[in-house]
Amino acid sequence: MKKFPNDFIWGIATSSYQIEGATAIDGKGPSIWDAFSRIPGKTHNGETGEVACDHYHRFKEDIQLMKNIGIKAYRFSIAWSRIMPTGKETINEEGISFYNNLIDTLIEADITPWVTLYHWDLPLALQLEDDGWLGDSMPDYFAAYADVCFERFGDRVKNWITLNEPWVVAILGYGQGVLAPGRISSSEPYLAGHYLILAHGKAVNIYRSKYKHQNGLIGITNNCDWREPLTNSKEDKDAAERALEFFLAWFADPIYKGDYPMVMKERLGNRLPVFSEDEKEMITGSSDFFGLNHYTTMYASNSNGIIKEGSVYGNGGISKDQGVDLSLDKNWNLTLMQWAVVPWGCKKLLHWINERYNHPNIYITENGCAYADEIIDGQVNDQERLDFYQSYLKVCNEAINEGVKLKGYFAWSFMDNFEWALGYEKRFGLHYVDFKTLERLPKKSAYWYKDAISKNSVDF
**pLDDT tens, 183-213?**
999 999 999 999 999 999 999 999 999 999 9
* Full 3-state SS string of 164-192: ECHHHHHHHHHCECCCCCCCECCCHHHHH
Write out pLDDT tens, residues 376-428.
999 999 999 999 999 999 999 999 999 999 999 999 999 999 999 999 999 99
- Compute the average pLDDT of residues 207-220: 98
Active-site residue, selected from the candidate residues 165, 241, 245, 279: 165
**Kind and range of the H or E element at 237?**
helix 234-244
Is 295 flagged in the annotation as binding? yes
Q: Which residues lie closer than 8 Å to 214 by C-beta, 6 or more apart?
A: 150, 154, 155, 158
Q: What percent of the chain has pLDDT over 70?
A: 97
Active-site residue, selected from the candidate residues 20, 241, 245, 366: 366
Identity at 363, one-letter amino acid code: Y
**pLDDT score at 317:** 60
Query: Is 366 tagged catalytic?
Result: yes
Q: Which residues lie closer than 8 Å to 388 by C-beta, 6 or more apart?
A: 335, 341, 368, 369
Confidence of residue 310 (pLDDT cuts 50, 70, 90): very low
Distance CA 39, CA 37 (A): 6
**Is the overall model pTM greater than 0.95, yes or no?**
yes
Is 119 flagged in the annotation as binding? yes
- Compute the average pLDDT of residues 254-270: 97
Is 412 flagged in the annotation as binding? yes
Q: Which residues lie closer than 8 Å to 407 by C-beta, 6 or more apart?
A: 5, 7, 8, 9, 289, 361, 362, 363
Q: Is pLDDT above 70 for 311?
A: no
Is 164 flagged in the annotation as binding? yes
Query: Is 165 tagged catalytic?
Result: yes
Which spans in 284-376 are helix H? 319-322, 343-356
Instruction: Say how far residue 224 (Cα) sits from the centre of its chain.
Output: 10
| Cβ burial, residue 39 (10 Å; 0-12/13-18/19+) | exposed
Is 10 flagged in the annotation as binding? no
Write out pLDDT tens, residues 134-191.
999 999 999 999 999 999 999 999 999 999 999 999 999 999 999 999 999 999 999 9
Confidence of residue 306 (pLDDT cuts 50, 70, 90): low
Catalogue all structural domains in the chain, each as residue range(s) with its CATH number: 2-458 (3.20.20.80)
What angle in degrees, to the nearest 10, is found between the helix axes of 93-108 and 138-153? 50
